[in-house]
Structure 1
Amino acid sequence: MNLRKLLVVSVVVVFTCVSLSHLAYAAYPSKVLDFVAPAGAGGGWDLTIRTVAKVLKDTKLVKVPMPVRNNPGAGGAINLASLQEKKGSDSIITVYSPPLLLIHLNGTTELSYKDVTPLARLIADYAAYVVPAKSPYKTMMDVMDALKKDIKSVKIGGASSAGSMDHIQFLIMARAAGIENLKEIDYISFDDGSGAAQVLGGHIDLYSTGLSEVRGLIESGDLIALAQSADHRIGEGVIADIPTCIEQGINETFINWRGLFGAPEMPEEAVAFWRETLQKMSETPEWQEACKNNGWDNVFLAGDEFVAYIEKVNEQYKEVLGAIGMLKN
């Protein structure tokens, strides 16, 4: 075969491969997708992935069905384990946030963010530190000053287990406020969803939670938010009146980022599709309206930048868990 014929054959082969790859990409997804919230109905993960599914459908960015199911348990560890049985799947899309890192670091599971396929960070929600309307604590620094005087004088509650998100997001602020004996702070977990009722009933002094999860109770005046964990004022109305921790002299933030992940070893064409499609979604008026309605910041990040972000916050969580003797992995 002469050189000219060889070049022609090579070009045809390359063109054919590219064309087939493009066709495969264009045909995906061609079947029902499996959208999974790793917790029960009504929480932040559930709301996030159902909102994603709705916006993708409404904008026609995805034209196949996207039913959402719940796979709760162990702070997301049950779902993480089940994903390992679906290696290579191109149809499973799940949502995670900081607990994906924390359940590995605190020893709940040997699995970690390295055992899923990061697709994109979508939103930032923030912590809210709330007290009942008649609480003696009027600012976040009031709470910190009380803890400095008597570390057992303030009972903190959260929906996540000890060593997971609601606990850690309070400890990060306590450490920044100069409290050294973090391990001795009383933290009570209400994983049955009763945390808001517990603080309203006076059974705990402060409830550390996600701002979106107590927004209604703040707007009604039943709960008072002493602070939220962003580096800027967020939301509208009463929510916009909530001061940041930074404004109160606690120079720290906590971002409850939420993003989408695929199964381990997700095919590259599927990964490319989701990163591109989710970026398009993040720019739509429908998504921006959903973020506004839910009090989310639209903080899209994908690819290597998303992975680098995960690795960075993972190191921060390690430090806090080490300080309270709960770092296992």
Structure 2
Amino acid sequence: MIKLKQLLTSAVIATTTLLSVNSAMAADYPPHTINMVAPSGAGGGWDLTIRTVGKVLKDTGIVDANMPVVNRPGGGGAVNLAYMQTQKGKGDLISVYSPPILLTNLTGLTQYSYKDTTPIARLITDYAAFVVPENSKYKTIKEVMDALKKDPKSVKIGGTSSAGSMDHIQFLLVAKAAGVENLRNIDYISFQNGSLIAQALGGHVDLISTGLGDVAGLVESGKLYALAQTADKRIGSGLIAEIPTVKEEGINVTFENWRGLFGPKDMPEEAVAYWRDALQKMVETTEWKEALKRNGWDNAYQNDQDFTTFLGKTNEQYKGLIKEVFGR
């Protein structure tokens, strides 16, 4: 009996100690600095998203920690994903990702996938946009597709993601739906150093495949002209609302480019809980809602648990997509 009491007492002490340690760890979070990572160069959709998140969290006082933005480009996000494997168990890194976190793995560009991270929240849905310089000879997406049907090498496509990833895949899906054959022969050039817009304006690529939010400002300024976007409806306001959907152009396809936040694998539970609370508050703020409208983003918030479920289902859908386009 005495032994049993001693064991129970020891267990209670151990449990109390563990709870105290966990409480202390939770009280110490967040750290003074949290690195907000865009796995791309400055100016792209990931960069815009993570900077917007950091600014809204800071401006509203939801997060007091310093949140510098770190750009870690390469491999359509694969370079940063590999780096995140060196940060397992840590809570001071938050990275934005979108479909490439699934696609780069499914196409064999990296051995890592979303399963090697801690999904934190899905935030928004953006849509693909296909834009050209204002002096382009192409005035509609149908004209581009007609040119590709005659010669798949006749139009140079530029994007910020690597070949086989987001910007490339979304264009190929539309081209396939439009009846373009020999999809593998289409020239796609990846610019992950932030020079894509300059390359297009300089005439080095004919068309940019990107996220609508990434180029909304340039479209509104008149420097770029949007041929089409991939939502199932007109979105945004002003000039953005005038952009036709590809379905309106007779191409029966839609495509969503969701974006969400991820931490390193085995991120401490107190960190996950902190971000769950912070982001739930953020998406209800006026500042965030104004950012959605300004960038042509749709609200697609999901907490960490729902986001993880979504990723599993979407990963299976993308497997079918990759097989259809690439035969893999």
Mapping for residues 151-170 of structure 1, pairs under 5 Å? 151-170=152-171
Alignment of 1:86-125 (within 5 A): 86-125=87-126
Aligned-partner SS, 1:146: helix
Deviation at 1:170, TM superposition (A): 0.3
1:237 is aligned to 2:238: yes
Q: Would the aligned equivalents of 1:129 and 1:227 in 2 still touch at CA under 8 Å? A: yes
Structure 2 CA distance for partners of 1:100 and 1:218, relative to 1, 3 Å: same
Partner of 2:129: 128
Amino acid in the other structure paired with 2:287: E
Q: Distance in 1 between matches of 2:146 and 2:276?
A: 45
Q: Structure 1: which amino acid aligns with 2:47? A: D
What aligned pairs does 1:27-66 form with structure 2 within 5 A after superposition? 27-66=28-67
Q: CA deviation at 1:23?
A: 6.6
Q: CA-atom RMSD, angstroms?
A: 3.0
Q: Is the 8 A contact 1:183 1:323 kept in 2?
A: no
Counterpart in 2 of 1:290? 291
Distance (Å, rounded) in 2 between the aligned partners of 1:151 and 1:35: 39
Aligned to 1:214: 215
Normalised by the size of structure 1, how large is the TM-score?
A: 0.86
| Identity, % of aligned positions | 62
Task: State the match for 2:195 in structure 1.
Answer: 194
CA contact under 8 A between 2:172 and 2:325: conserved in structure 1?
no
Distance across 1 between alignment mates of 2:198 and 2:41:
18
* Displacement of 1:308: 2.8
Q: Distance in 2 between matches of 1:144 and 1:133?
A: 19
1:75 and 1:69 map into 2 onto residues whose CA distance is 16
Distance 2:288 2:212 in 1: 19
1:304 maps onto 2:305 in alignment: yes
Unaligned runs of 5+ in 1: none
**What is the identity, as a one-letter code, of the residue corresponding to 1:158?**
G
Per-residue CA deviation, residues 249-307 of structure 1 (Å, 9 max, x unaligned), is 22222222211111101122221221222111111111112222233222111233212
Deviations 1:188-235 (A, max 9, x none): 223343333333344333221222332233223232211012222222
What residue in structure 2 maps to residue 280 of structure 1?
Answer: 281
Structure 2: 5+ residue stretches without partners: none
State the match for 1:81 in structure 2.
Answer: 82
Letter aligned with residue 118 of structure 1:
P
Counterpart CA distance in 1 for 2:65 and 2:327 is 43
**Is the Cα contact below 8 Å between 2:144 and 2:155 reproduced in 1?**
yes
TM (normalized to structure 2)?
Answer: 0.86
CA distance in 2 between counterparts of 1:89 and 1:140 reads 45
CA distance in 2, matches of 1:71, 1:173: 29
- For this pair of structures, how many residues does the alignment match? 323
Q: Supply the AA of the counterpart residue of 1:315.
A: E
Aligned mates of 2:203, 2:222 — CA distance in 1: 16
Deviations 1:148-187 (A, max 9, x none): 3333333322222211111111011122223343222222
Which whole-Å CA distance do the structure 2 matches of 1:30 and 1:199 have between them? 41
Compared CA separation, residues 238 and 274, structure 1 to 2 (3 A)? same
**Structure 2 CA distance, aligned partners of 1:30 and 1:157?**
39
